[in-house]
Each structure stands twice: as structure tokens, then as C-alpha cells.
Amino acid sequence: MRIGYYPGCSLLGSSREFNESVKAVCEAIGLELVEVPDWNCCGASSAHVLDHELSVALPAKILAQAEAAGLTEVLAPCAACYSRLIGAYSELEKNPDHKTRVSEIIEMPYTGAVKVVNVLEVLERFADVIQAKAVQPFARKVACYYGCLLVRPPKVVNFDRPEDPQVMDQLAAKVGATPIDWPFKTECCGAAFSVTRTDLVAKLCGKIVDSAVKLQAEALVVACPMCHSNLDMRRPETNAALGKDLQIPVLFLTQVIGLAMGIEPKKLGIQRHMVPVAFNAPTGAQA
């Protein structure tokens, strides 16, 4: 089986480990990723606040390039990229007349023939294969954190439950993890304020991390580069805001699945994390 692949900017830069782990897991489950030719930035996270027409044209060009390459679906692992692509797709489907204008801007046909899917949707299709290949169960309690963009806006993404999503929890359980029931699954981590308002990010992430630790989670599991960056890289600021030293690690779901499959940690990019991840013993956290 093959599917279009849009890595976007983050997966080739600050979240290389997500790209590495997605590719490693997809290879293991027999899914061929076909990178969209000549792809461009999707416009996240600033285009939509600067120029609406631009914010639609940028992701539309990516989908048009995928269509020209004969692809019918595009996997966008980055939650922000997924949000921009599926948002543009949804808007153009509701306003067919806009397709002509977008085609003029991007100087190539856009018909809306290519659908956009997120990494959870794709992995869910292979849930049984993933479970069968989990030779080293990830036997830890985990807090699955979806963030804002994977399930919102619900009428656009039409994926999972917007307030209490379950797909990531179910996939984690397939490889031996025990997902906790907690109230912070879709709370905002501060997103792109990581640089301009680090203090706000620290407070928001502090609530997420502290809640997970109090409920005895041993790892936070995410599927968004920005969420990972805020929860992992901003841990010093988060701990300072909390007045605690919380060392619970943050892993991408694809890393959790990859580890359970016995894929070499380095191939999954585990060494790139700021908060260390232990492999031979359950990962603890100090409250």
C-alpha cells in the first residue's frame, strides 16, 4: 500500500525525530510513503492571520502537486500542517467557485481530488498489524495528549471525539501501554507562543505535565511537533513555573509504537529529546 507524504517544514527541522519514527514505523507495517513532489510550506502558523487567500493557496498547491503525481491521499503527520491542509480542502469543497481563483494563483489545476489524513487515522488502519508486531510491549502508563489541532474544528476534521478523543489511546494500548483517563487531552500547550510568550507556554504546559504526573503517567504521548516542542524543550521553563522538577518524558506515538516493535531507538530519533527517555526500565517522574 502507498500513500502521499507531506513532511512539512517541522519534520525536516526541529522535529526530525517525528519524521524518522513515522518513516520507520510505516516501513515496518508495509506502508510506502510517497513524498509530494516539489512541496512548499503550508503557511502554518502565520499565513492565516496575514492573508486569507494566501493561507488557502499555499496548502492547495501542495494538494494540487499531489494530484498531479497521481496520489489520492496525503498523510500530513504534523498537526499544524494537517490543520492547514484539511482546512483549505474543506473551504474549497464548500465554495467550488474559489477553486478557479486558487488554480489561477497557484498556476496549476486544483480539483479537490486528494484527501488529507492525519497520522492517527493512518495508523488506525493498521492497528491489528501494529499489535501483531509489538514484540516488546511498551508496558508503561501513558498520558495521550492530542492538543488542539487533531480534533478541531470538529466539523472540518470530522475525526474522533473533539473533547475526549480515543484513537491515540487505543493505538497505545495495542502495543502494551496503559493510557490514563485524564482531563487534559485537548488543552492548549501554548502552540506558537513558544518564542514570543514563553511564560504563557510554561504555565499552560505546567498544568498538562503536572496533571499527568499526579495521575501516575510515566510518559506523555503526542502526535504534534509543536506540542512536543513545548512539552519537551520548554521543560526548564515549565518546571520553574511549577516550582517542581518533573522529568516525565514526551514521546511521539510513532516512537512508542516503534519501540514496541523492537525498532532501534536511534532509528526513531529518541536521542534527540531534551527530557531523557529510559528504555530498560519504566520511566519515572518526580512530583
Looking at residue 279, what is its pLDDT? 58
Residue 285 located in a structural domain: no
CA distance 63 to 111: 9
Over 34-77, what HEC string results?
EECCCCCCCCCCCHHHHCHHHHHHHHHHHHHHHHHCCCCEEECC
- Point out the domain boundary residue: 67, 91, 119: 119
Is residue 54 located within the same domain as residue 160?
Answer: no
pLDDT tens across 154-170, in order?
Answer: 999 999 999 999 999 99
Residue 286 confidence class, pLDDT cut points 50, 70, 90: very low
What's the number of domains the chain is made of? 2
Is residue 179 located within the same domain as residue 236?
Answer: yes
- Point out the domain boundary residue: 74, 94, 119: 119
Residue 222, SS3 per DSSP: strand
Residue 87 located in a structural domain: yes
Burial class (CB in 10 A: 0-12, 13-18, 19+), 210: buried
Reported pTM: 0.94
- Would residue 2 be called left, alpha or beta, if left means φ above 0 and alpha means ψ between -120 and 50 degrees? beta
- Would residue 79 be called left, alpha or beta, if left means φ above 0 and alpha means ψ between -120 and 50 degrees? alpha
Residue 49 confidence class, pLDDT cut points 50, 70, 90: low
User: Terminus-to-terminus CA distance in the chain, angstroms?
Assistant: 45
Tell me which residue range forms the domain holding 46.
2-119
Residue 277 located in a structural domain: no
CA distance 224 to 82: 10
| Virtual torsion, Cα 73, 47, 164, 160, nearest 10 deg | -20
Is residue 26 located within the same domain as residue 104?
Answer: yes
Residue 19 located in a structural domain: yes
Low-confidence winner among 31-45, 46-60, 78-92, 127-141 (lowest mean pLDDT)? 46-60
Is residue 247 located within the same domain as residue 142?
Answer: yes
Looking at residue 191, what is its pLDDT? 85
Looking at residue 195, what is its pLDDT? 83
Pairing relation of β-strands 2-5 and 32-35?
Answer: parallel
CA distance 60 to 53: 10
Per-residue cell: 90? 474543506
CA distance 165 to 149: 12
Instruction: Please check whether residue 58 is in contact with residue 41, taking contact to mean a CB–CB distance below 8 angstroms.
Output: yes
Per-residue cell: 256? 512508542
Residue 278 located in a structural domain: no
